[in-house]
């Protein structure tokens, strides 16, 4: 049974903010796939009506994709990703952080300090905070001061060396022990294998969706793709997987029928940088409202969260935990690491395989690591003749007009290039 909140919730600022974005996503575009109704309805129920979804076992909040969720599922608990995209909570979080801080971190703090958090996560039994960027590291003590139980999952600052790998494997093993202590459930090989199989099925569904987005013309829009992956933050993993599988079938059919979700010559955009997190989908929406189509992304609210698979050599418990640790470290292209050649490589691969015309790079104001990496990414793309639009922004709606003008100009310049080449 689900628990409904009083009707007045509909009128709260966070509900109206979510509703406004959902209206954009659904009403300003024709021919939304029927398979998206599951996700539209889910977000309306959870974000606009304040419905609390039923959760199994204890609830473990995570503040970044670096926390291996399979371990949480394997001890009978439910992971809930706490990265938040609401401007309403960003403003509340401003009381905790310096003015020029990342909106994502501020909104997460604002949501956790609120009496009225959305999604309705209830009482969290533990919050796992991987020690990634400085702002997330320092947020840990603040979250604890709000009365939450926090576990710092220690991540190495580099990822190439064998020392870093061993350090991280030790961290993940200790995390598994801590989870068992908190939940009172022993981590078993059988439960972990089952949890890994569930995640693998979700990843297979995501990968199929990802492949479908290679089609030319596009059969699916990026605004919907981000909504699908954002639902993974809080939805039941099996329901989510089934909904994505159903959506994929419909998109497959669209492919056979030569359906066009965007104009045939719509500029194909690869999205990278600070992650679009509902309801802050303003940049993908502006791109698609201006006639572009986001065909792929390199962000931790979508592709990076679900694409990389776990490779297990030996199905013994320790080996499985180590294999999980490897899967969460090696392919990670977050700019928190000292070097990040993998990110450039990944972006070039995506640009090539998705026939991308341009890249939009979002950096949240105050996120130094994304700001610092933009130059090397722009150079790598430019060497391949791929233009990039760098956008520094935050969750405030104030810059929408200015962003819209810049995006339109960027898309227009891509169209002109294409015309000249033709």
The residue ranges that bind ligand SF4 (CB under 6 A) are: 64-66, 83, 102, 104-105, 132-133, 135-136, 274-275, 300, 334, 336, 364, 367, 369-370
When the beta carbons of 183 and 303 are compared against ligand SF4, the nearer one is 303
When the beta carbons of 42 and 133 are compared against ligand SF4, the nearer one is 133
CA–CA distance, 346 with 308 (Å, rounded to integer): 12
Q: Are 102 and 125 in contact (CB under 8 A)?
A: no
DSSP state letter for 384? T
CB of 237 to ligand SF4, least distance (A): 19
**Cα 169–Cα 172–Cα 177 angle in degrees, nearest 5:** 130
User: Is residue 70 within a helix (H) or strand (E), and if so which, with residue range?
Assistant: helix 69-74
When the beta carbons of 100 and 418 are compared against ligand SF4, the nearer one is 100
- C-alpha 365, offset from chain centre: 18
When the beta carbons of 361 and 370 are compared against ligand SF4, the nearer one is 370
CB of 325 to ligand SF4, least distance (A): 16
Residue in the structure block whose two tokens are 């300090």: 113
Q: How many Cβ atoms from other residues are within 10 Å of residue 182's Cβ?
A: 16
Residue 380 corresponds to which tokens in the numbers above?
């790598």
**What would the DSSP string read from start to end of 106-167?**
HHHHHHHH-SS-SS---S-SEEEEE--SHHHHHHHHHHHHTT--EEEE---S--SSHHHHHH
When the beta carbons of 14 and 84 are compared against ligand SF4, the nearer one is 84
CB of 66 to ligand SF4, least distance (A): 6
CB of 139 to ligand SF4, least distance (A): 9
User: Is residue 393 within a helix (H) or strand (E), and if so which, with residue range?
Assistant: strand 388-393
CB of 108 to ligand SF4, least distance (A): 8
When the beta carbons of 158 and 409 are compared against ligand SF4, the nearer one is 158
CA–CA distance, 230 with 104 (Å, rounded to integer): 14
When the beta carbons of 92 and 104 are compared against ligand SF4, the nearer one is 104
CA–CA distance, 183 with 325 (Å, rounded to integer): 21
DSSP state letter for 310? P
CB of 128 to ligand SF4, least distance (A): 12
CB of 354 to ligand SF4, least distance (A): 21
């Amino acid at each position: 049974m689900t628990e409904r909140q009083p009707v007045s919730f509909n009128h709260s600022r966070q509900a109206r903010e979510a509703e406004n974005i959902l209206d954009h996503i659904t009403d300003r575009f024709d021919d939304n796939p029927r398979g998206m109704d599951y996700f539209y309805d889910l977000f309306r129920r959870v974000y606009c009506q304040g419905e609390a979804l039923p959760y199994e076992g204890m609830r473990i909040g995570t503040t970044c994709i670096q926390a291996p969720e399979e371990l949480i599922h394997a001890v009978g608990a439910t992971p809930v990703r706490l990265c938040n995209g609401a401007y309403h909570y960003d403003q509340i979080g401003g009381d905790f952080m310096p003015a020029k801080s990342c909106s994502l971190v501020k909104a997460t703090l604002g949501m956790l300090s609120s009496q009225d958090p959305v999604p309705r996560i209830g009482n969290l039994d533990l919050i796992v905070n991987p020690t990634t960027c400085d702002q997330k590291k320092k947020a840990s003590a603040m979250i604890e001061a709000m009365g939450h139980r926090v576990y710092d999952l220690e991540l190495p600052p580099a990822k190439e060396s064998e020392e870093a790998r061993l350090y991280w494997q030790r961290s993940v093993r200790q995390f598994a022990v801590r989870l068992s202590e908190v939940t009172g459930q022993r981590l078993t090989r059988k439960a972990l294998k089952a949890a890994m199989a569930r995640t693998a099925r979700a990843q297979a569904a995501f990968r199929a969706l990802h492949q479908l987005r290679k089609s030319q013309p596009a059969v699916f829009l990026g605004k919907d793709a981000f909504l699908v992956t954002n639902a993974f933050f809080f939805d039941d993993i099996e329901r989510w997987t089934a909904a994505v599988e159903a959506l994929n079938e419909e998109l497959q059919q669209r492919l056979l029928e030569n359906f066009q979700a965007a104009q045939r010559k719509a500029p194909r955009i690869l999205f990278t940088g600070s992650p679009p997190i509902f309801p802050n989908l303003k940049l993908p929406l502006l791109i698609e409202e201006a006639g572009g189509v986001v065909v792929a992304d390199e962000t931790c609210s979508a592709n990076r969260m679900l694409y990389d698979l776990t490779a297990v050599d030996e199905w013994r418990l320790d080996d499985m935990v180590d294999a999980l640790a490897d899967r969460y470290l090696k392919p990670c292209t977050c700019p928190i690491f000292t070097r990040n050649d993998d990110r450039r490589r990944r972006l070039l691969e995506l640009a090539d395989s998705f026939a991308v015309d341009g890249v939009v790079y979002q950096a949240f104001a105050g996120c130094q690591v994304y700001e610092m990496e933009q130059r090397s990414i722009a150079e790598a793309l430019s060497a391949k003749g791929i233009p990039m639009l760098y956008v520094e922004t935050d969750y405030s709606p104030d810059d929408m007009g200015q962003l819209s003008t810049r995006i339109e100009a960027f898309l227009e310049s891509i169209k002109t290039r294409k015309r000249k080449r033709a």
